[in-house]
Amino acid sequence: MSLRKNGFVVLVVGLAGCTHANISSIPMEISGVGTAYRYQGRANFAHQFAEADRMITEDCKRRNGGRPVIVSAQKQDLGVVAFRNGNSTTNATVQATSNRYGATAYGTAHSHSTGTTTYMRNKNQEILYKCVK
């Protein structure tokens, strides 16, 4: 969402609360491990790691009443998100004089712009786990 008021631009992006995650409904058979399941979700903030633990634990309780054992955990860099904020102002002064032969106008204008940009890495995590009793 972008909001513009009196030359002030604000970019509002809500990533901090995002816990986009899912658990695959299709189990995998891994040699030497057995049946495993795949969790995928964001990996940017502590609450996203806590949500992964909660979802995996609930999934194992639902499947066989057991607890999760991590088989593999990987993070993937999805790129960069930019948060931008800027402000620009222009002041102008014009003076005009006239007589019976014509008119003259002259003036000055000054512009000033400031802004900041903050970047954040956006990461995803993939966890393979099995449910043991």
Q: Is residue 56 part of a domain?
A: yes
As a whole number, mean pLDDT of residues 18-37 equals: 89
pLDDT grade for 18, boundaries at 50, 70 and 90: low
As a whole number, mean pLDDT of residues 79-108 equals: 90
Which three-class secondary structure state does DSSP give residue 123?
Answer: strand
Q: Is residue 16 part of a domain?
A: no
* Closest alpha carbon to 112 in 9, 12, 7: 7
Domain count, the chain: 1
User: Whole-prediction pTM value?
Assistant: 0.62
81 pLDDT exceeds 90?
no
The answer to whether 19 touches 43, Cβ cutoff 8 Å, is no
The average confidence (pLDDT) of the chain is: 86
**What residues make up the domain containing 79?**
1-11+28-89+114-133
